Structure 1
């Protein structure tokens, strides 16, 4: 790969996703060894020419010599385009760039609920994205839709479960949010949405674990006992993930108990109604 010299990407040190792709650029030699820097480690000089607020939402790429800065999808296109010019050319086409900007914002504003981490409160500079209601609502609806489709497809493989439809699965996924709301209604609205974002990420994660089985079953018939085992294993993984995220969000552990209770109630309704 062709290295882009004298350029440094700012990244959120507390974001595992940001850590992975910025270190990936360095390992791929797209950036030199000094090609990334944690937002919290900015010098006073760098703070004078970088838009600190914008950099929390859009990754900043600054020129160490000229002290110029570009942000967001432009930063990524420049880094990748230096090695693969065709990517930058295609990415800068108006309709494609419009879509890339929306996708970037979708991920950036939701990165703390996609892969959460405990923030270091001792840091003076915190790389925390603005709370964007629109993108949080879109993310929750997106995760709900994917979860509903996968569960509908998986449920069709299990003979012990009465035949379902996509609308029932969607209502059950949304019902989970409504049920948990009963136990966090006194929290600030933003904290509620943070929890719901994490909640739906867990559901989405479970769906992603089920998808390989759906693909494999389209090629060979998998015994129902194996399917049930895989589904049970998926639920256990989701349970441990819920416990981990509750601790990170510093929310009451009773939410894990109500999370389990809702699933048991739904199962009983499906089997006996």
Structure 2
């Protein structure tokens, strides 16, 4: 059985084990090393092994291809994007770095799914605000805004810091996801309490403030300065006035 003493962070794995573990693969996939047999398994297989401790009956269903293959894709999706999801500062140069390799497919998928999720949430949320002010917007507007922001910020970061472009877009998408998640509680509670549009507006401003602070923090971690945040705010300001001008 695994316990706390069985877990060793990647950064401090002893040299005696590095010859038995594929250290590069372990950056991308959690490694589970059996010190008795010397066998090492990685990624989803190691997670299943850990999860199935004391309940071996669950291993067979999880390893069934129709279950295993989707779980494998989900695992890869998370592991290859975990750096931008967490948004942590880079490790000191002297440390053994445990960061996943960059994967175009899973990063692009993360950005696209984030834009779709945020557009879906905003489409439901902003209706309460626009209705309060006496106008409505078509259902597709929020999706255009979300994908438009990716294009806007993508162009900006390519001109400002090309080497950080994919990391920045991933971090920006994580901030958008955070904003969408923070809007969900009020949408849920509105099913019971029927809040005024002004409540939605005030809460939305609070969420945007939180997103702004998180965007600044992540840009600071990537040493990008204030320009990406200025561009991020400029896009939202242009969009706000455009919506009011076109649909009001």
Give the TM-score, by structure 2 length: 0.93
Aligned counterparts of 1:111 and 1:169: Cα–Cα separation in 2? 26
Q: Distance in 2 between matches of 1:190 and 1:254?
A: 16
- RMSD between superposed Cα atoms in Å: 1.6
Q: More helix per residue: 1 or 2? A: 2
Q: Where do residues 35-114 of structure 1 align in structure 2 (5 Å cutoff)? A: 35-114=6-85
Relative CO higher for 1 or 2, CA cutoff 8 Å, sep ≥ 6?
2
Q: 1:198: which partner in 2?
A: 171
1:128 aligns with 2:99: yes
Distance 2:232 2:134 in 1: 21
For structure 2, list consecutive stretches of 5 or more residues without a partner in the other structure: none
Length, aligned pairs only: 244
Unaligned runs of 5+ in 1: 5-30
Change (3 A) 1:103 1:189: farther
Q: Deviations over 1:225-250 (max 9, x none)?
A: 21111111100000000000000111
1:14-62 per-residue CA deviation (whole Å, 9 max, x = no partner) reads xxxxxxxxxxxxxxxxx22212111111222211010111111110011
TM-score by length of 1: 0.85
SS of the residue aligned with 1:164?
Answer: coil
1:188 and 1:235, CA in 2 relative to 1: closer, same or farther beyond 3 A?
Answer: closer
2:152 aligns with one of 179, 182, 191: 179
Structure 2: how far apart are the matches of 1:232 and 1:83?
Answer: 48
The answer on 1:32 being equivalent to 2:3 is yes
